[in-house]
Structure 1
Amino acid sequence: MKAFILLSTFLFIGLVSRGQQTVLQGLVTSQNSPTENITVKILSLNKATKSNQSGAYHFNDIPSGSYDVLFSGVGHQNKKIKITVNNDTTFLNVDLISMEANLKDVVITGVNRATELRKSPVPIAVLAKKAMDQNVNTNLIEAIVKGVPGVTAVTTGPNVSKPFIRGLGYNRVLTLYDGLRQEGQQWGDEHGIEVDEYGIARAEVVKGPASLTYGSDALAGVINMIPYSPNFANGKLKGDFTTNYQTNNGMIGSSLGLAFIKNDWKFTVRGTGKTAHNYENKIDGLVYGTAFREYNFSASARVDKHWGFSKTAVTYYDNLMEIPDGSRDSLSRKFTRQILDDGDDIKKRPIVPDNELNTYGINPLHQHIQHYRFYNTSQFKFGNSDLNILLGGQQSVRREYNHPTVPQQAGLYVVLNTFNYDLKYNLPDFSGLKVQLV
């Protein structure tokens, strides 16, 4: 009889606990008017949704308990409310304060953990996607140079730019992709950063020494390139298509991205292609050996749970770039090209025909850059602290085809394989702790 009573008690407790999946819903207003597109997030559960045109929002299957609910939206002050959910349906209405001019400081991740800009001890500049698109460029580094003061670049052709921060560059500037160190022959100036500019949502630039945090490569600063992460209603598929054309070198660039959210999962995929013929300047006209062709592919999957999140991503970069040598005819000053290996006389090289200066084809003397990246970044929460783990593998391949008589033979073939790992345990923020000495 005692065993039967004990078993019945356990079954009853299990049924009650399964039945405690409740609903949280409410209405978001501002000045007593329904407000749409307000993000409503249950912080400890990593669940989020947006208010509709009527200002209403809705959560299903919320476990019973106490939660902090954050309401945020453009043009309104953030509001956090603590609520206890213990019924079948819980209602939480909120009225937000309109904020016309003074916006809150942007939250950046260019340091050890997410923090507000005013709390960062080092100067950090944040460049959003909108600002990048407003600056006409052929690669991501050019967009950063135009949008962030104190950052310059060394360029070799239209598709190669290496960042410099306050006069220092190459191995003294660390570049990150989604927090992963960019490893790809960064010591040279004849190849750029192997990143798809169309897939970057924002760039964070740490201007100043950051070697204590990131290592010796960050002597001048850090550039962190953060890819797009979807944030919209559950069960929807969204996409974007971007194309641009530049008259100087006839560059044609197109990029297609798709994003899908299903419950706790977020998926993204993007494909990009760019091609250009030789660029033109006022003195030389079309400069022979400056055409390029670039392809990019990336995909990611992320899951958000109550314990944190985990994201796995893969990227592929492929770039064919011609190698300009600048040789010219002594009389006409027109560009010439090399056709011999042995016995090559720069004074006797043939002149490049005009029809080859304006073509999208890649000439035999070129370099082929490929970059493969696979990584996983995860965060595990333990109360007010968290453990961050980053694992990644990269392969950078560089070939230089500089034999005009044997164009299929690479004169230089360099392969760089790297494995990256990073573990960080962030303790709770004790900035507001007050200590009284007695």
Structure 2
Amino acid sequence: MKSLLLSLSFLIGMHVAFAQVGTINGMLISTNAPLANINIKLAGSSRTIKSNSEGSFQLSGLSYGSYVLSFSGIGYETKTLKVSLNSPVINVTAEMAPANANLSEVVVTGVNRATELRKSPIPIAVLSKKAMEQNGGTNLIESIVKGVAGVTAVTTGPNVSKPFIRGLGYNRVLTLYDGLRQEGQQWGDEHGIEVDEYGISRVEVVKGPASLSYGSDAVAGVINMIPAKPNFLDRQLNGDFSTNYQSNNGLFGASLGLGYAINNWKFTLRATTKAAHNYENKIDGLVFGTAFKEYNLSASARLDGNWGFTKTAVTYYDNKMEIPDGSRDSLSRRFTRQVLDTGDDIKNRPVVDEADLDRYVINPLHQRIQHFRFYNNSQFKFKSSDLNLLIGAQQSVRREYNHPTAPGQAGLYVVLNTLNYDLKYNLPEFAGIESTAGINGMYQTNRSREATDFPIPDYNLFDVGGFYFAKRTLGKVAVSGGLRIDRRTINWPDFYVGTDPLTGFGKQSTVNDAAADLQFPAFKKAYYGVSGSVGLTYNVSEKVLLKANLARGYRAPNITEIGSNGLDPGAHIVYLGNRTFKPEFNLQEDIGVMVNLHDADFSLEVFNNDIQNYIFQSRLTDVNGNPVVIVPGNLTYQYQQAKARLYGVEVAANLHPSNIKWLSFNHSFAYVVGLNKSEELLRAHGKQAKYLPFIPPLQIRSEVKVTAQQPIGFLASPYFKADVAIFADQNKFYALDNTETFTKGYTLFNAGMGASFRARSGKVVADLFVQVDNIFNIAYQSNLNRLKYFEYYQSSPNGKSGIYNMGRNFSFKLIIPF
């Protein structure tokens, strides 16, 4: 018996020793892009792994035979794959399809862990690169406005768009680039977001107070612009070349992006240029002073490992754009130009030559915005937690040249330096609770250089805040919330302004100059804020979702609101601040319902926003009601503070019949009302002061889209779409002192088409997007167009006042990947 047992043991051992085992190497992709953090499960076992940052995975030590692999991940449809392992190593590739409903989109904005939209009570919208390409637009913010209900923009021509969310803008909307808060003198009306639009692959928009995660300046919401990354292949150079042309202002743009990977290192480089002459409409013709030239350069290096990752990146933005002032000849309505400093009469300037209106040469009167950004974003993984560290340095250089007799002399020349820090720790899960604790803030200095106008003082700012955020899922209910405490200090010394005896212009001076004026007396103050949120989502079923959220936001007054006292040449406005202002606090309630059916998606969001100490601009008038003119040819605005309330509704309906897959209908409706709750102003001025300034009117957008389900020759996924955008009359405006006037509604018709060009191998060799906006060349004025108020006459021969928005515009964009 003993011998028999020994023989059986030997035979079993020999069988095991010579048993054939192998390895499955796999790659997960979606639209040719690698997919990271996808769950791979081996059917019939408890073995589960995740794909790495390059989309690859490995299952080793498997006996020869047949296996079933299951792939699942947030934002993608679950996929199964049968695999026959009959050699030592086999390679498989699986392509996963994005989930039809955007409720499965992964977001990281406004929260601190990757989160499904389905589980977030905070209203969040996600816009992909392809959606932005198909939307078209004269700049990145305009593309976002077209794609996200509730987002609008204050504009100064086609190159300057300041985002508003649900009627709130300026410093109340926090813009992020790759998670780093954007600091670039954003208090100004007349320059936009310093970001390369060609290098953005995704935008996430939080609609509502997000101060919990970010502190001050996020009371309206957050727009996070996430840079694109190539499809990295080890030791292969790849990337894309993009070019764009727009007919209305002759815009030409070109961008080259490169990517290279070696082992665990990934490198990117992108260079972009854009140029345009003045834009045009049928009322004003070519609008003098709206040409621009823009250059962008960015690079990054990232190292991935089992311990996490670290990424270092640098960006450079350089934009020269003209300064429009709207001065005209009273009879012909042709635009005029300023040629004098002393003795300039805005109503008696020479007319601009026609040949100068469609040139790409930038006028001597222009502004130059430069922005430098250097940052490192790192994540360190532990057994059941991770630490995220973001450190960034930014410099914004803003020069505005407004002296025609001395074109090399800047009227405004300010340099803003900012150091950002952000530390977040995602704690181990405990009792089903996922939580995050963090601290973030910034140190900032602003200095004037060799300028002649000084609208703000040289100030120092230090900001710090700490928070705790937690979420838990209890069956069909997901609950989340948190608390934050902030402190911001602002200070500046006495700031004197005198007169340069050689030029007659203003100059920064000292207390020792007897002729100098103390324009900004010394100031020091600390602002404190407590913010937080609590919300829940309830999955009534897989098809119906209810959301509710209550959030308190906090915003310290910005530098112009408390410290301004002078002319901003680029805005043509003299700003007057008030150093006694208190911080803004808002309390917003959001209720929403989302329905995800087989053939349609519906959403309804209702919000109410009560604001304490709301700060807004109002024109300054004297006791007789006449406009106060401190600098001839420039308006004077004084900041006010009062209670306010905003409320509104947003509705979206997307129809995609399953039996007619090539057809879809997308509709959205957005409406917001902003009420001024200042009892003093309402008693004195009644209806004129009833509403808040610069609130967007009711908007309806409706689109029909046809997309081929099969390739047509060498064309893959060709599409055609047509849409209509309806803007109602805005008769709910802040009319006091003619700060705003009635704005007539208008309807714009747009259309677009495009396709991917594929080689015989199936590889995409180019993507083409064609868009035409304002097909019927409608003459209209948006109430958020600053140029509407650039008018110096009580009446005109054609009965039109101010400057109109852009007319018909064809846009052609070609992207060539390689």
- TM-score by length of structure 2 reads 0.44
Find the aligned partners of 1:95 and 1:257 in 2 and give their Cα distance: 27
Change (3 A) 1:94 1:424: same
User: Match of 2:292, as an amino acid?
Assistant: F
1:158 alignment partner, SS class = coil
Residues 183, 396 of structure 1: 8 Å contact kept: yes
Q: Does 1:115 align with 2:120?
A: no
Find the aligned partners of 1:46 and 1:96 in 2 and give their Cα distance: 13
Q: Does 1:234 align with 2:234?
A: yes
Change (3 A) 1:39 1:211: closer
Find the aligned partners of 1:42 and 1:133 in 2 and give their Cα distance: 27
Unaligned runs of 5+ in 1: 1-21, 30-35, 52-56, 61-68, 81-88
2:355 alignment partner, SS class = helix
Counterpart of 1:277 in structure 2 is 277
Find the aligned partners of 1:290 and 1:408 in 2 and give their Cα distance: 20
The superposition leaves residues 74-130 of structure 1 with CA deviations (integer Å, 9 ceiling, x where unpaired) of 9751579xxxxxxxx677989999899678711111111211111112011010000
Counterpart of 1:16 in structure 2 is none
Deviation at 1:332, TM superposition (A): 1.3
Deviation at 1:25, TM superposition (A): 2.4
1:216 alignment partner, SS class = coil
Change (3 A) 1:102 1:216: closer
Residues 34, 231 of structure 2: 8 Å contact kept: no
1:405 alignment partner, SS class = coil
Counterpart of 2:353 in structure 1 is 353
The superposition leaves residues 199-256 of structure 1 with CA deviations (integer Å, 9 ceiling, x where unpaired) of 0010000001111221121000000000012344322221111111111111001111
1:34-433 aligned at under 5 Å gives the runs 39=35, 47=52, 71=71, 76-77=77-78, 105-110=104-109, 111-430=111-430, 432=432
1:198 alignment partner, SS class = helix
Residues 45, 306 of structure 1: 8 Å contact kept: no
The superposition leaves residues 338-379 of structure 1 with CA deviations (integer Å, 9 ceiling, x where unpaired) of 101111122321110000011010011000000000000000
User: Match of 1:108, as an amino acid?
Assistant: V
User: Match of 2:268, as an amino acid?
Assistant: T
Deviation at 1:42, TM superposition (A): 8.6
Residues 40, 49 of structure 1: 8 Å contact kept: yes
Deviation at 1:422, TM superposition (A): 0.5
Bigger drift between 146-155 and 101-110 goes to: 101-110
Find the aligned partners of 2:38 and 2:151 in 1 and give their Cα distance: 39
The superposition leaves residues 381-425 of structure 1 with CA deviations (integer Å, 9 ceiling, x where unpaired) of 111110000000000000000000110110110110000000000
Residues 25, 92 of structure 1: 8 Å contact kept: yes
Find the aligned partners of 1:71 and 1:150 in 2 and give their Cα distance: 36
The superposition leaves residues 276-324 of structure 1 with CA deviations (integer Å, 9 ceiling, x where unpaired) of 0000012110010000000000000101100000000000000001001
1:257 alignment partner, SS class = strand
1:112 alignment partner, SS class = coil
What is the root-mean-square deviation in Å for CA atoms of aligned residues?
3.3
Find the aligned partners of 2:327 and 2:93 in 1 and give their Cα distance: 70
Change (3 A) 1:206 1:38: closer
Deviation at 1:275, TM superposition (A): 0.3
Find the aligned partners of 1:140 and 1:238 in 2 and give their Cα distance: 24
Counterpart of 2:552 in structure 1 is none
2:133 alignment partner, SS class = helix
Change (3 A) 1:38 1:403: closer
Deviation at 1:72, TM superposition (A): 5.6
1:47 alignment partner, SS class = coil
Bigger drift between 380-389 and 346-355 goes to: 346-355
Find the aligned partners of 2:104 and 2:301 in 1 and give their Cα distance: 29
Deviation at 1:334, TM superposition (A): 0.7
Give the count of matched residue pairs. Answer: 389
Change (3 A) 1:248 1:318: same
Change (3 A) 1:255 1:414: same
1:299 alignment partner, SS class = strand
Find the aligned partners of 1:28 and 1:228 in 2 and give their Cα distance: 21
The superposition leaves residues 160-206 of structure 1 with CA deviations (integer Å, 9 ceiling, x where unpaired) of 00000000001111000000010001111100000000000100000
1:134 alignment partner, SS class = helix
Counterpart of 1:54 in structure 2 is none
User: Match of 1:391, as an amino acid?
Assistant: I
User: Match of 1:47, as an amino acid?
Assistant: N
Change (3 A) 1:353 1:216: same
Change (3 A) 1:104 1:265: farther
2:132 alignment partner, SS class = helix
Change (3 A) 1:359 1:428: same
Find the aligned partners of 1:188 and 1:379 in 2 and give their Cα distance: 35
1:333 alignment partner, SS class = coil
Find the aligned partners of 1:328 and 1:293 in 2 and give their Cα distance: 24
2:310 alignment partner, SS class = strand
User: Match of 2:146, as an amino acid?
Assistant: K
Change (3 A) 1:349 1:104: closer
Bigger drift between 42-51 and 356-365 goes to: 42-51
1:362 alignment partner, SS class = coil
Unaligned runs of 5+ in 2: 1-20, 40-48, 61-68, 82-87, 434-472, 475-818
Change (3 A) 1:115 1:354: same
Counterpart of 1:3 in structure 2 is none
Change (3 A) 1:336 1:181: same
1:361 alignment partner, SS class = coil
2:224 alignment partner, SS class = strand
Residues 297, 316 of structure 2: 8 Å contact kept: yes
User: Match of 1:235, as an amino acid?
Assistant: R
Deviation at 1:136, TM superposition (A): 1.7
Find the aligned partners of 2:279 and 2:299 in 1 and give their Cα distance: 32
Residues 38, 71 of structure 1: 8 Å contact kept: no
Residues 231, 238 of structure 2: 8 Å contact kept: no
Find the aligned partners of 2:171 and 2:52 in 1 and give their Cα distance: 41
Find the aligned partners of 2:196 and 2:98 in 1 and give their Cα distance: 35
User: Match of 1:285, as an amino acid?
Assistant: G
Residues 275, 293 of structure 2: 8 Å contact kept: yes
Find the aligned partners of 2:379 and 2:72 in 1 and give their Cα distance: 23
Residues 46, 305 of structure 1: 8 Å contact kept: no
User: Match of 2:141, as an amino acid?
Assistant: I
Counterpart of 2:63 in structure 1 is none
User: Match of 2:78, as an amino acid?
Assistant: Q
Residues 102, 117 of structure 2: 8 Å contact kept: no
Residues 296, 316 of structure 2: 8 Å contact kept: yes
1:190 alignment partner, SS class = coil
Find the aligned partners of 2:94 and 2:293 in 1 and give their Cα distance: 53
1:413 alignment partner, SS class = strand
- TM-score by length of structure 1 reads 0.81
Change (3 A) 1:277 1:233: same
User: Match of 1:390, as an amino acid?
Assistant: L
1:184 alignment partner, SS class = coil
1:144 alignment partner, SS class = helix
Residues 260, 268 of structure 2: 8 Å contact kept: yes
Find the aligned partners of 1:430 and 1:383 in 2 and give their Cα distance: 14
User: Percent identity between the aligned chains?
Assistant: 68
Bigger drift between 259-268 and 390-399 goes to: 259-268
Which has the larger Rg?
A: 2
Bigger drift between 237-246 and 198-207 goes to: 237-246
Find the aligned partners of 2:321 and 2:227 in 1 and give their Cα distance: 25
User: Match of 2:24, as an amino acid?
Assistant: Q
Change (3 A) 1:252 1:216: same
